[in-house]
Chain A
Amino acid sequence: DIVMTQTPLSLSVTPGEPASISCRSSQRLLDSDDGNTYLDWYLQKPGQSPRLLIYTLSHRASGVPDRFSGGGSGTDFKLTISRVETEDVGVYYCMQRIDLPYTFGQGTKLEIK
């Protein structure tokens, strides 16, 4: 199974400041057949289902503000929030779906200072 490791596990950010979350996979997530990197990012707000933020490495899902961006290569990936807002609180997860079983990172809890 592919192991996904997120850092940090918690983050406290002042509104308006940037934030980033790293995710490392134990195997490469690049599909050489179609060129896609199958790494997604989710945000789970308290009491809610996970919401897709970023899919296939860097594509923002519908309705996701452009302050969220995803990037990386190989086995190292990053979610960046350019300017954190109070509504961004919750737990962020990375997930790989290049190979079954799909696996998630442990989650990163973002709090507002």
Chain B
Amino acid sequence: QMQLVESGGGVVQPGRSLRLSCAVSGFTFSNYAMHWVRQAPGLGLEWVAAISHDAKKKYYSDSVKGRFTISRDNSKNTLYLQMNSLRSDDTALYYCVRIPSLWGQGTLATVSS
């Protein structure tokens, strides 16, 4: 059974950092590009970042470029999102996604003083 399980969310103050993880199982992780998509409370979906299957290429939305870093460890079947210099508008449910068909349940990051 293919599964994506996110973790690492929590409540942090503005300017601080969080590291999200996504544990993958049920398929060959190293064969697929992976993405992070977020959803602010009550709002729509926003693509955040992507990484190629071999981690050689990384892409970011303008809203997180320079603050967030996507990475992966294919030996551990795990995707990461390092989020630095967090702002209140980064508050969202963060989904790990194998676009288009496989989504995790999300992990909530709340940025608040």
A52 and B104 CA atoms in complex are apart in Å by 12
Which of B35, B45, B105 makes the CB contact (< 8 A) with A93? B45
Contact of A55 among B35, B45, B101, B105 (CB under 8 A): B101
Is the C-beta of A65 less than 8 angstroms from some C-beta in chain B?
no
Contact yes or no, A97 B46, CB < 8 A: no
Q: Taking the nearest CB of chain B, how far is it from the CB of A93, in angstroms?
A: 6
Of the four ranges (under 10, 10 to 19, 20 to 34, 35 or more), the interface on chain A belongs to 20 to 34
A40 touches B61 (CB 8 A): no
Q: In the complex, what residue of chain B is closest to A102 when comparing beta carbons?
A: B47
Task: Count residues of chain B with CB under 8 A from any CB of chain A.
Answer: 17
B26 within 8 Å of A (CB atoms): no
| Separation of A95 and B59 alpha carbons in the complex (Å) | 17
> Is the CB of A7 closer than 8 A to any CB of chain B?
no
Give a binary string over A33-69; 1 marks a CB under 8 Å from any B CB, 0 the rest: 0000000101010000111100100000110000000
A61-B47 CB under 8 A given contacts A100-B59, A101-B61: no
Interface positions of B from 14 to 69, Cβ below 8 Å from A = 35, 44-47, 50, 59, 61-62
**For A62, what are the chain B residues with a Cβ–Cβ distance below 8 Å?**
101
What are the interface flags for B92-105 relative to A under an 8 Å C-beta threshold, 1 for contact and 0 otherwise? Answer: 00010001110111
Residue A106 lies at the interface, judged by CB distance under 8 Å to chain B: yes
Q: Which residues of B contact A (CB under 8 A)?
A: 35, 44-47, 50, 59, 61-62, 95, 99-101, 103-106
Rank and list the top 5 A-B pairs by shortest CB-CB distance, nearest first.
A102-B47, A49-B103, A104-B45, A52-B101, A40-B100
